[in-house]
């Protein structure tokens, strides 16, 4: 618990799953197999020697930056919002045109990696969404895929973590199933990193807390059902193929989280099998890979992530230094 190796594993793991999946984000499974062989994609596709990650990891880094620049707990949310506006700046400006807070003022982040339209539009309009005042009806997975760093904040409770994760997603995603999964995901990372839970235990415990926090939400029953399905399927004899036919494709928040939980719980001892399962499917491979990678990377630590995923990963040193700073930040 509170291990620096696990903090690093969380961020590097997410970036690994994102980078592996980014190459096949918009391919159906049969197209992936045709292109990469019967096991699907199992190694990075390199561009000038680097494995590129997508908007999922970019925005995760900006969530982390928001946390690092908050000087008190009540500043977390406004600081994260400001960091998302900075991310938006990187999508429409070049580096010399805008001032981005360190440590994210690096040229590699000033590029579009299939950024989601919901995030771009919401942030163009100032990122004003809240749990009470939704700015759209999106439940895309762009809210959940970026919130792992919220589970890395120390000194706040599980419930506070879940609420902050949900609020951070609601800045851009108005549908309850755009932000409830984000809260649950942050809560799971909190439980894994700070209370040494395994993936299933974190899933059930965070789900219980979510039910208590949002008891009258109209979409809570749907959310509970898909997450319980994911946890039960991971412990069953059903094949990965059968599980995906139940859990969906991951373009929306609840499906992306369910798929990631399923893969991380089913392959809890093997990071490689976990993220290969999380990206080789019909759906949103980079996001499901990123979320699964954050979860299992947090559990296994950097030392549990195979070298092939650590080598050639872009901005690897930046990911490590951000993880170190999150680990060292105590309010
Ligand atoms: Mg992406």
User: Who contacts 283 (Cβ-Cβ below 8 Å, separation ≥6)?
Assistant: 244, 248, 249, 250, 251, 255, 259
142 in Cβ contact with 118 (< 8 Å): yes
In this model, does residue 112 exceed pLDDT 80?
A: yes
What is the pLDDT, as a whole number, of residue 29?
A: 96
Cα distance between residue 287 and residue 306, in whole Å: 20
Tell me how far the alpha carbon of residue 139 lies from the centroid of ligand 1, in angstroms: 15
Tell me how far the alpha carbon of residue 289 lies from the centroid of ligand 1, in angstroms: 10
Cα distance between residue 252 and residue 287, in whole Å: 10
Domain total in the chain: 1
Cα distance between residue 281 and residue 63, in whole Å: 27
Tell me how far the alpha carbon of residue 113 lies from the centroid of ligand 1, in angstroms: 7
Q: Specify the CATH number for the domain of residue 301.
A: 1.10.4080.10
In this model, does residue 331 exceed pLDDT 80?
A: no
Tell me how far the alpha carbon of residue 158 lies from the centroid of ligand 1, in angstroms: 27
pLDDT tens digits along 87-104: 999 999 999 999 999 999
Tell me how far the alpha carbon of residue 212 lies from the centroid of ligand 1, in angstroms: 31
Tell me how far the alpha carbon of residue 140 lies from the centroid of ligand 1, in angstroms: 11
Domain interval for residue 91: 4-328
Cα distance between residue 202 and residue 101, in whole Å: 33
In this model, does residue 34 exceed pLDDT 70?
A: yes
Tell me how far the alpha carbon of residue 215 lies from the centroid of ligand 1, in angstroms: 31
Tell me how far the alpha carbon of residue 237 lies from the centroid of ligand 1, in angstroms: 31
Tell me how far the alpha carbon of residue 136 lies from the centroid of ligand 1, in angstroms: 20
Cα distance between residue 51 and residue 43, in whole Å: 9
**Sign of the C-alpha dihedral, residues 161, 57, 133, 214?**
negative
Tell me how far the alpha carbon of residue 331 lies from the centroid of ligand 1, in angstroms: 31
**Is the pTM for the entire model greater than 0.95?**
yes
Helices and strands in the chain: count of H runs, count of E runs: 15, 0
pLDDT tens digits along 207-235: 999 999 999 999 999 999 999 999 999 99
Residues facing residue 252 across a β-bridge: 140
Tell me how far the alpha carbon of residue 242 lies from the centroid of ligand 1, in angstroms: 25
Start-end of H helices in 114-252: 117-124, 158-170, 176-195, 199-213, 220-234, 240-247
In this model, does residue 1 exceed pLDDT 60?
A: no
Tell me how far the alpha carbon of residue 66 lies from the centroid of ligand 1, in angstroms: 20
Tell me how far the alpha carbon of residue 57 lies from the centroid of ligand 1, in angstroms: 8
Tell me how far the alpha carbon of residue 14 lies from the centroid of ligand 1, in angstroms: 11
Residues facing residue 313 across a β-bridge: 51
Tell me how far the alpha carbon of residue 330 lies from the centroid of ligand 1, in angstroms: 30
Phi first, then psi: give them for residue 44, nearest 5 degrees: -60, 145
CA atoms within a 13 Å half-sphere pointing along the CA-CB vector of 231: 16
pLDDT tens digits along 240-277: 999 999 999 999 999 999 999 999 999 999 999 999 99
Question: Peptide bond preceding 124: is omega within 30 degrees of 0, i.e. cis?
Answer: no
Tell me how far the alpha carbon of residue 112 lies from the centroid of ligand 1, in angstroms: 10
Report the mean per-residue pLDDT for the chain: 97
What is the pLDDT, as a whole number, of residue 246?
A: 97
Closest by CA position to 256, among listed 144, 153, 105: 144
**Would you place residue 121 in the very low, low, confident or very high pLDDT band (cuts 50, 70, 90)?**
very high
**Would you place residue 41 in the very low, low, confident or very high pLDDT band (cuts 50, 70, 90)?**
very high
108 by Cβ neighbours in 10 Å (0-12 / 13-18 / 19+) ranks as middle
Cα distance between residue 274 and residue 269, in whole Å: 9
pLDDT average, residue stretch 161-177: 98
Cα distance between residue 77 and residue 80, in whole Å: 5
């Amino acid at each position: 618990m509170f291990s620096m190796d696990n903090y690093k594993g969380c961020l590097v793991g997410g970036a690994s799953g994102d980078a592996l999946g980014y190459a096949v984000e918009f391919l159906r499974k049969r197209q992936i197999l045709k292109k990469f062989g019967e096991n699907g994609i199992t190694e990075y596709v390199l561009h000038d020697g680097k494995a590129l990650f997508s908007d999922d990891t970019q925005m995760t880094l900006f969530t982390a930056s928001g946390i690092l620049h908050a000087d008190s707990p009540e500043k977390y949310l406004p600081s994260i919002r400001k960091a998302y506006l900075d991310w938006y700046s990187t999508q429409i400006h070049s580096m010399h045109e805008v001032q981005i807070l360190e440590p994210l003022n690096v040229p590699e982040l000033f590029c579009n990696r299939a950024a989601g339209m919901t995030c771009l539009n919401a942030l163009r309009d100032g990122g004003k969404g809240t749990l009470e005042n939704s700015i759209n009806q999106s439940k895309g997975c762009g809210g959940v895929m970026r919130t792992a760093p919220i589970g890395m904040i120390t000194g706040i409770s599980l419930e506070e973590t879940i609420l902050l994760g949900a609020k951070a997603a609601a800045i851009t995603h108005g549908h309850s199933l755009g932000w409830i999964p984000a809260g649950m995901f942050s809560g799971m990372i909190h439980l894994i990193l700070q209370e040494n839970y395994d993936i299933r235990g974190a899933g059930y415990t965070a789900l219980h807390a979510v039910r208590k926090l949002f008891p009258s939400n109209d979409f809570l029953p749907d959310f509970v059902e898909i997450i319980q399905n994911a946890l039960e399927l991971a412990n069953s004899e059903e094949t990965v193929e059968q599980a995906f036919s139940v859990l969906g494709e991951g373009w929306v928040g609840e499906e992306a989280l369910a798929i990631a939980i399923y893969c991380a719980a089913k392959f809890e001892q093997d990071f490689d099998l976990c993220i290969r399962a999380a990206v080789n499917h019909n759906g949103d491979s980079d996001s499901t890979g990123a979320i699964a990678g954050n979860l299992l990377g947090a559990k296994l630590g950097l030392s549990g992530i195979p070298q092939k995923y650590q080598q050639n990963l872009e901005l690897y040193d930046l990911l490590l230094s951000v993880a170190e700073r999150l680990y060292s930040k105590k309010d």
